[in-house]
Amino acid sequence: MSTENIIPATAVNPDEDAKDVVEETPKQPEDALPEQTGEPLPDFQVISLIINYDDGLPSVELITGNVDGSDAGAQLHFRVPEYAKYFTTFNFIVRNRTLKNIKYKQVVKKAGIPFRTRMVEIGPEFAPNDPKNGPAIYSVDLPGEETPGGFLVRGLYSAHSTYYAGPEEEIILESPWTLEIVKKVKT
């Protein structure tokens, strides 16, 4: 398993004096209980991603879902400065059953050709939330990364994340997103 691959990171607007800019979905209160709509809630749901930079840029939380089982409604698009060093924190909920051996696979493509692939083990076992006590959000840090840089690397990439559980690697969540590597703004 290689850890020298791209992971999603925060939005950066090169036109704004090195300030990070993120379009964020409003947060749902953490004490909100899941609503019962008649449909079963998903077994696994990513609630947010936190991008933690090593090189002085502020951390940014990106909301990807709500504790009631719904998603944030929009496809994720990340703008990342080239040569950025960071690690990502996943915050997620497990429902309905215990999930074992959760893995995360990410494929980033440029013009349909795989540019980077990454497979990371998230953890050995996660018990489901108790609906009577409200949602418990698990938090896992992924290994650090560094985005590549240079004029040939800058641009838009299509990406796909897949989460697997168990020895049979059952797919528990799939998510398309886009990544844009932009020129690093000098501070």
Q: Of 30, 33, 51, which is closest to residue 137 (Cα–Cα)?
A: 30
Using CA atoms, how far apart are residues 107 and 4, in angstroms rounded to an integer? 13
Using CA atoms, how far apart are residues 10 and 59, in angstroms rounded to an integer? 8
pTM above 0.75, yes or no: no
Tell me: pLDDT of 103 over 50: yes
| pLDDT tens by residue, 12-50 | 333 333 333 333 333 444 444 444 455 677 899 999 988
Which CATH code for domain 44-182?
2.70.50.30
